[in-house]
């Protein structure tokens, strides 16, 4: 199986992007997928949420981007079997300015991932909540983009700029880039607005919208404070069940895509 590289991105903050990165990574890992999570957000919340202390981040995503460090040398094992993470440090906040000096400014991450062999089935990249050079690097390096989308009134409007950016990256640097899926998050089936947003999103984006929906769930909010994914913190919670379902749906989609390509 070829390593599948997936950016998890939305330029709008607070939509469940990092929560999805952590819990999808863990859910793939417990299914036996060797999974690497790259924390590309200077805030480092994915790293913290998986229990990687600041002092335990000797090598980081910054070093992979700009320091000629192999991804495997920066990867740290987590408490979840089959799941490793390349942690983030605040050094990433200056990475945009430093990469601007390079003629291959959008290729740094792709070069790092291609030049060094990786023994992973999935690489998930937690992007920062904006469309900066870090995010563009992630898109250029990726096969697909998973877009967490909060079920709120302006959901589609917030998505438009990201889709424009994807189109531009396809034209200029990664013609094979595709949308893995649109993931509705913070979904409350008792809320009529959520149901209306789902209807609108599915009407406009069709099969791009995943069947799995991530519910509002207090266990999802609590788990990071215990430095663990929700599937470890409370395996029977609605949040844990949803992310296990998401992993299954993505694996099935990818298997069907491979059969179609074959």
CATH 3.40.50.300 describes domain 4-261:
yes
Ranges of each domain in the chain: 4-261
Beta strand 83-86 pairing with 76-77? antiparallel
Question: pLDDT tens, 144-184?
Answer: 999 999 988 777 777 888 999 999 999 999 999 999 999 99
50 CB burial (10 A radius; 0-12, 13-18, 19+) = buried
**Ramachandran angles phi, psi of 104, nearest 5°:** -110, 40
Question: pLDDT tens, 15-45?
Answer: 999 999 999 999 999 999 999 999 999 999 9
Q: In what order do the strands lie in the sheet containing 83-86?
A: 76-77, 83-86, 35-39, 122-126, 4-8, 144-150, 178-187, 209-215
Contacts of 43 (CB under 8 A, 6+ apart): 88, 128
Three-state DSSP state, 183: strand
Q: What is the mean pLDDT of residues 107-111?
A: 95
CA distance 193 to 94: 39
Residue 163: predicted pLDDT: 92
Question: pLDDT tens, 188-240?
Answer: 988 888 898 899 899 989 999 999 999 999 999 999 999 999 999 999 999 99
Helix axes 155-172, 192-205, angle to 10 degrees: 30
pTM confidence score: 0.95
Q: What percent of the chain has pLDDT over 90?
A: 78
């Amino acid at each position: 199986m070829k390593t599948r590289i997936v950016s998890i991105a939305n330029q709008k903050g607070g939509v469940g992007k990092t929560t999805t990165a952590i819990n999808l990574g863990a859910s793939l890992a417990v299914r036996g997928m060797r999974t690497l999570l790259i924390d590309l957000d200077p805030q480092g919340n994915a790293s913290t949420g998986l229990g990687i202390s600041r002092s335990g981040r000797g090598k980081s995503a910054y070093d992979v981007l700009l320091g000629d460090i192999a991804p495997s040398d920066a990867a740290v094992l987590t408490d979840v079997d089959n799941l490793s993470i390349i942690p983030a440090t605040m050094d990433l906040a200056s990475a945009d300015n430093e990469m601007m000096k390079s003629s291959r400014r959008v290729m740094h991450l792709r070069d790092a991932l291609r030049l060094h062999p990786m023994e992973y089935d999935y690489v998930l990249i937690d992007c920062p909540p904006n469309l900066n050079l870090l995010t563009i690097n992630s898109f250029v390096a990726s096969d697909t983009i998973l877009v967490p989308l909060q079920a709120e009134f302006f959901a589609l409007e917030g998505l438009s700029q990201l889709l424009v950016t994807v189109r531009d990256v396809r034209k200029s640097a990664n013609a094979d880039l595709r949308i893995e899926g649109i993931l509705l998050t913070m979904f409350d089936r008792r809320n009529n607005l959520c149901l209306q947003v789902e209807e609108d999103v599915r009407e406009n984006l069709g099969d791009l919208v995943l069947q799995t929906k991530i519910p509002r769930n207090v266990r999802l909010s609590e788990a990071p404070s215990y430095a663990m994914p929700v599937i470890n913190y409370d395996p029977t919670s609605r949040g844990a069940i949803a992310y296990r379902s998401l992993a299954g749906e993505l694996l099935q989609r990818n298997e069907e895509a491979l059969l179609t390509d074959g």
